[in-house]
Amino acid sequence: MDYTLIDGKATAAAIKAEIKQEVEQIVANGGRRPHLAAILVGHDGGSETYVKNKVLACEACGFQSTLIRFEDDIREEELLGTVERLNKDDSVDGFIVQLPLPRHINEQRVIETIDYRKDVDGFHPINVGRMAIGLPCFISATPLGILTLLRRYNVPTSGRKCVILGRSNIVGKPMAQLMMQKQWGDSTVTVCHSRSQTLKKECREADILIAAIGQPGFVTADMVKPGATVIDVGTTRVPDSTRKSGYRLSGDVRFDEVAPLCSFITPVPGGVGPMTICTLMLNTLSAAKKEFYK
Ligand code: GUN
């Protein structure tokens, strides 16, 4: 079967160009550039890369960006104080605290201190709850990125069976909520995880299979229904001495054997990954326009 490769890199670039155009229009009309701030604690390699890419994406979109860095021995009170300062700063439209945080800091407490109206990550319980009941809110970057790809590629989802592998708060759970909602996926949704006894059988029945478990090569050809759409959210770093960085990104899906079965499939890298930063930019633009909250 001829499959369509869902090109997240090209889609993200196109959306960033659209955002940039809108921002220049806002500025031409006397408005202010959207402003995203990011707090980065410590020197985790993955987090450094994500935050660097977020700053670059801000430049591409014509946004102002501010990066606030702390060492990993920062006290929780100081971090919470910085969050509260950003909450009150009218020049900042939205901000993120890059996760994970050091173990001595209560991550949930930090998330709940962020003003939900500036929570462009969509991690605050108010945004999570509003998302779950279909109210306007910030939807977190990965689920919104996947929904955006499905829409732009006209992947049929309404009434179709969608199987999600993984139940994390950042991907699996919100993805399931959104795929079942009428205004998004309108699908019949099943969530599988490490304890699911019927996992393979469920996967074989899926019209849309979304893999977000972080196990390289977990999804094999015998788990995929011919004609299915496969979305690979995995981005595990595996050692690779032939790369300058010393690693490469590996998805949850064995692309070479699965792709020939598919209608649509996302690659790793270049699929869901690039979309997550672009949807953060969309959320920041929404924050600046006060689209969801006055
Ligand atoms: N760490 C991994 N993904 C994310 C994300 O989307 N936002 C933040 N703040 N931290 C992350």
Q: Average pLDDT of 137-159? A: 98
- For residue 198, the model assigns a pLDDT of 98
Residue nearest atom 3 in ligand 1 by C-alpha distance: 99
Tell me the β-bridge partners of 220: none
Active site residues: 54, 98, 121
**Residue nearest ligand 1's atom 2 by CA:** 99
Domains of the chain: 28-124 (3.40.50.10860), 141-273 (3.40.50.720)
- Given ligand 1 and candidates 36, 98, 127, which is best to mutate, with the most ligand atoms within 8 Å of its CB? 98
Residue 294 pLDDT grade (very low, low, confident, very high; cuts 50, 70, 90):
confident
Ligand 1 centre from 56 Cα, in Å? 16
Q: Which residues share a beta bridge with 256?
A: none
92-134 pLDDT, tens digit each: 999 999 999 999 999 999 999 999 999 999 999 999 999 999 9
The string of DSSP codes covering 68-89 is: EEE-TT--HHHHHHHHHHHHH-
Q: Give residue 201 CA to ligand 1 midpoint distance, Å.
A: 32
Q: Which residues line ligand 1 at a C-beta cut-off of 6 Å?
A: 96-99, 121, 141
| Average confidence (pLDDT) over 168-184 | 97
What is d(CA 240, CA 181) in angstroms, rounded to the nearest whole number? Answer: 41
Question: Ligand 1 centroid to 88 CA: how many Å?
Answer: 22
42 pLDDT above the threshold of 80:
yes
* 216-258 pLDDT, tens digit each: 999 999 999 999 999 999 999 999 999 999 999 999 999 999 9
- pLDDT of 189: 99
Q: With beta carbons less than 8 A apart as the criterion, state whether 210 and 146 touch.
A: yes
Mean pLDDT for the chain overall: 97
Using the predicted structure, report yes or no on whether residue 1 has a pLDDT greater than 90: no
